[in-house]
Each structure stands twice: as structure tokens, then as C-alpha cells.
Amino acid sequence: MGYLLTRESAREAGACYDDKRLTPLIPVEGSSPRQVAELEIPIDDRIWALCNAVGASDKTLRLFAVWCAREALKLGKEPDPRSVNACDVAEAFANGDATQADLAAARDAARDAARAAARDAQLSKIVEMLEQE
């Protein structure tokens, strides 16, 4: 599909750049995703534009979110199986192989896992700090 970032699509998506800043960045005919990736603006702004202003499908955005989550899970020693399952279910949902109810249940379980991990980390840290006094 021929995705394009145009000044109009950037404005419609709520870009924080005004027309004065958009005009030199985006040609009248628009910019391809590759051209957006090569713009000399902060990387967060380039990712925002690619996710919000080029007309990417819900499926593409969901699969990108799953990829981001899986990359984040790699940063931990042993990711909670509920978080891994949430990625699997979100990917299945994007591909039409899971229901909204499946997605909600996996999301809730992953949220519980994140809260439990945060509580465990807080408990460990406060014990460590108290033992150092």
C-alpha cells in the first residue's frame, strides 16, 4: 500500500508542528514512510508521524505494538507468562484469530502481572533501603 505523510494528514492527526514547521519538512506530494524515517526531526516525532499520520491500518499498528511489547519483554530476566500471553493474544486478534473478549482477558491478566512485579520491586527496594540505614 502507498502510505504517505502529507501536511494535511499531519494536521488532521494532531501534529504539534505548525504549518511553518511542516512546510519545509513535507513536500507537497507527501513523504513515503522511508522518507519520514529519514527526516531530521526527533525520532519520537518520526515514529509518531508513522503511527498516526500516514493512514496505517489498525492491524499494522497493533502488530507494531505487539513487536514493541515483545522487545520490552526481552529486557527482563524472565517475563511473566501472562505478559507473553497478552502479546500472543494481541497478535492473534490483529490477525482475526482471537475475540475482543480474549483480548480483554489477556490485557487484564498482563496488567495484574505488571502490578505484581511493581509491588515486588517496591517491597525489595524498601527492604534494601531500610537495611542500609
Every domain of the chain and the residues it spans: 7-52, 58-132
The answer on pLDDT for 1 being more than 90 is no
What value does the mean pLDDT take over residues 119-128?
97
Which phi and psi (to 5°) does residue 29 adopt?
-75, -5
Which phi and psi (to 5°) does residue 5 adopt?
-95, 120
pLDDT one-digit tens code per residue, 92-113: 999 999 999 999 999 999 999 9
